[in-house]
A and B are shown apart, each in its own frame.
Chain A
Amino acid sequence: MSDDADASATTPTDELTAAVAENPEAVAAFVRRLDDVNELLDVVALATEAADDEMVSSVAGTVGSLGELADEASDPETVRGARTLLRALGEAGNPETTYREVGPVGLVRALRDPEVKRGLAFLIAIARGIGTELDREADA
């Protein structure tokens, strides 16, 4: 009984031999690429040997923070607000526009412009939002 059990047991070497026999082309291709594989492993070894716990935590922490920022930035309402701001910046940044200094008279005139009034409403909404957020963080 035990001899039959021994005869049926396979060793890792048997498994390897069987795998090579079943996949000769794939194994041959892998062997031809061993130099490339070793070069890749050298770079992995470099990273493993250079890094320490603190570096890994630091990088992961930064990725995490950026991820959280991206998560906030991807909120649909935030995207809409950002898009409005960015387009407005694009128009304001027109290289063909010359910006002359605005004095008190010019400011009052600008405040009568319907587009300026609507833009101010948007900026006031941003200011209100910042104030609300600051209050929330202070209370937290």
Chain B
Amino acid sequence: MTQQIVVVGGGTGGTVLANKLASKLGDEIDAGEVTLTLIDETDTHVYKPVWLYVAFGQADPSEGVRPLDDLLDRRIKRRTARVTDVDTTTGRLTLDDGRTHDYDHLTLATGARLAPGRIPGLTEGAHDFYSEDGAERLRDALAEFDGGRLVLSVAGSPHMCPAAPVEFTLMADDWLRERGLRDASEVVYTAPTDRSHKLPAVADWADERFDARDVEAHAGFTVERIDPDDRTLHAADGRALGYDLLVTIPPHAGVDLVSDAGLGEDGWIETDRRTLEATRADDVYAIGDTTDLERPMAGSVAHYQAGVVADRIAARIRGYRPTATYDGKVLCFLEAGMDEATFVSFDYDSLPDLRAESKLVHWAKNAYNESYWLTARGMI
């Protein structure tokens, strides 16, 4: 009987997984023994890291968007729909158009969504670079900014791209200097964590640079509300910071499907940290931002996890016991300004140790941004 593999989500995790499965199981798919379907709400794939560069006028949003059909192996069937329910007992998905889709092996790569409404005043008072519209509005606001108090505030945790708040702050500092506006500006950073970043090595690295570059940093700052009329950011502990231009990392949430299907609490799928199996259902995997794993919400995590799940599903299809496991690997670049970067790499058994930033690593990041589509195709 034909085995049905379904991947829900056409972001980095879902696209890489589908392409790796198509590569591994090409013969079985061609023989009609396996079908491989990717379901996504849209027909496009978005490379979100582009938005940080859009904000500084260095990229156009179109550079981060490709049709899914251009990236997916020809053996993958694609459906554009939103999955509204997962019946893990019968192995059946319900879609928003009323139709259903059965599965034998399901992987949820449904990601995270922004939830700005959780903080009063955030939508009205703050910019962000976590959406295409947000990045374009921020680009325009930064272009108009001719000095004043620029505040970057992490208003939600966890959030996609854990390096981005520090990156934006250091890039903004550099950018203002290049435009001769740094002396007329204050650059301020807030984070809800005890230090400037959850990872000690990154916090050490960031604090050293914040001190050297006169960035005003506030740790333990949990944003409670924003007063857009007064241009004030209020913390739960009573602290208040004024701003002229406020950029936030908005609160994030999981997709409704997760709670509705009983796969996890608070919208994140309860997932085995090694096998990436959903713990509350059989034949269901979860990868990327949608899991409850203590991993950064980073593209590299989804990428490495996709490799493991592809191996495991292929083993199951071929009738032998899966042995591939995820070791917690993460690799993220960290821009230190406009022309230098470093990177952070760690797994479940190691903590990162940051190297000094360099132009070469910054160029490596640029080069990767250009060649990301090879990753999406499952090639690198």
Contact = CB atoms under 8 A, between A and B. Distances in A.
Interface centre among A40, A45, A58, A62 (most CB of B within 10 A): A58
Interface residues of A, number: 15
Contact of B360 (A43, A50, A54, A58): A43
A9 interface: no
Contacts of A54: 307
A96 B328 CA distance: 60
A42 B331 CA distance: 14
B331 A49 contact: yes
Contact of A52 (B304, B342, B358): B304
Contact of A46 (B329, B343, B359, B378): B343
B81 interface: no
A58 B361 CA distance: 23
B305 to A, nearest CB: 12
A58 B380 contact: yes
A39 B345 contact: no
B380 A39 contact: no
A53 to B, nearest CB: 10
B236 interface: no
B379 A58 contact: yes
B179 interface: no
Given A46-B343, A58-B379, A39 B359 contact: yes
A42 B380 contact: no
A102 interface: no
| Residues of B in contact with A, size category | 10 to 19
A59 interface: yes
Contacts of B355: 42, 45
A39 B360 contact: yes
B364 interface: yes
A6 B357 CA distance: 46
A70 interface: no
B307 A52 contact: yes
Interface string B329-367: 101000000000011010000000001101111001000
Contacts of A55: 380
Contacts of B361: 39, 42-43, 46
Given A50-B345, A54-B307, A40 B360 contact: yes
Chain A contact residues, majority secondary structure = helix
Interface in A25-58: 38-40, 42-43, 45-46, 49-50, 52, 54-55, 58
A81 to B, nearest CB: 28
A129 B350 CA distance: 58
Interface centre among A39, A40, A59 (most CB of B within 10 A): A39
A50 to B, nearest CB: 5
A50 B304 CA distance: 10
A61 to B, nearest CB: 9
Contact of A42 (B300, B304, B360, B378): B360
A58 B380 CA distance: 7
A26 B41 CA distance: 61
Contacts of B300: 50
Interface in A105-140: none
A39 B356 CA distance: 9
A64 to B, nearest CB: 13
A42 B356 CA distance: 9
Contacts of B331: 49-50
Given A50-B345, A52-B307, A59 B379 contact: yes
A114 B380 CA distance: 51
Contact of B358 (A39, A49, A58, A62): A39
B342 to A, nearest CB: 8
B256 to A, nearest CB: 34
A41 to B, nearest CB: 9
The 3 A-B pairs at the shortest CB distance, nearest first, are namely: A49-B345, A39-B358, A43-B360
Interface of B: 300, 304, 307, 329, 331, 342-343, 345, 355-356, 358-361, 364, 378-380
22 contacts: A38-B356, A39-B358, A39-B360, A40-B360, A42-B342, A42-B355, A42-B360, A43-B358, A43-B360, A46-B343, A46-B364, A49-B331, A50-B300, A50-B331, A50-B345, A52-B304, A52-B329, A54-B307, A58-B378, A58-B379, A58-B380, A62-B379
Given A39-B361, A42-B355, 12 more contacts: A38-B356, A39-B359, A42-B360, A46-B345, A46-B361, A46-B364, A49-B331, A49-B345, A54-B307, A55-B380, A58-B378, A59-B380
